[in-house]
Amino acid sequence: MKKKKVYVAQEEDGEYCVAIVAYSSREAKKIAWHNETFEDSEYTDIRIKWKKGVDVSNLKIGVIEDYLLALKLGLYGYVECQTCPNCKTEDARVYYDNGKYNCSDCDGE
Ligand SMILES: [Zn+2]
């Protein structure tokens, strides 16, 4: 059986990226193309990067909807508009450092 891999799709020089579980970069790109993040993008402008060494065997094929999980897996530098798991601030920009979630409201705690 083929192994699931995780990819990060981003438009060239784009602000947003999307973490996608797929069996191949081609499949990941197709999934990205149908995602609302890239609705204004040209297919050829979407870049797909394979993130090695991340175990996604338990995740289903498609965009990882659980952004905090994707953050924990190291697929994003931070995620916007999430409730901080640490201090419960809503609409926070959440980071994951040294095994802990944090945001600008609970930074340094
Ligand atoms: Zn916080």
For the cut 80, the answer to whether the pLDDT of residue 109 exceeds it is: no
Q: For residue 65, how far is its CA from the centre of ligand 1 (angstroms)?
A: 20
For the cut 80, the answer to whether the pLDDT of residue 76 exceeds it is: yes
Q: For residue 105, how far is its CA from the centre of ligand 1 (angstroms)?
A: 5
User: What is the C-alpha to C-alpha distance for residues 53 and 101, in angstroms, rounded to an integer?
Assistant: 21
Q: For residue 106, how far is its CA from the centre of ligand 1 (angstroms)?
A: 4
For the cut 70, the answer to whether the pLDDT of residue 108 exceeds it is: no
How is the chain split into domains, by residue range? 5-67, 78-109
For the cut 60, the answer to whether the pLDDT of residue 78 exceeds it is: yes
Q: For residue 25, how far is its CA from the centre of ligand 1 (angstroms)?
A: 34
Tell me the pTM. 0.88
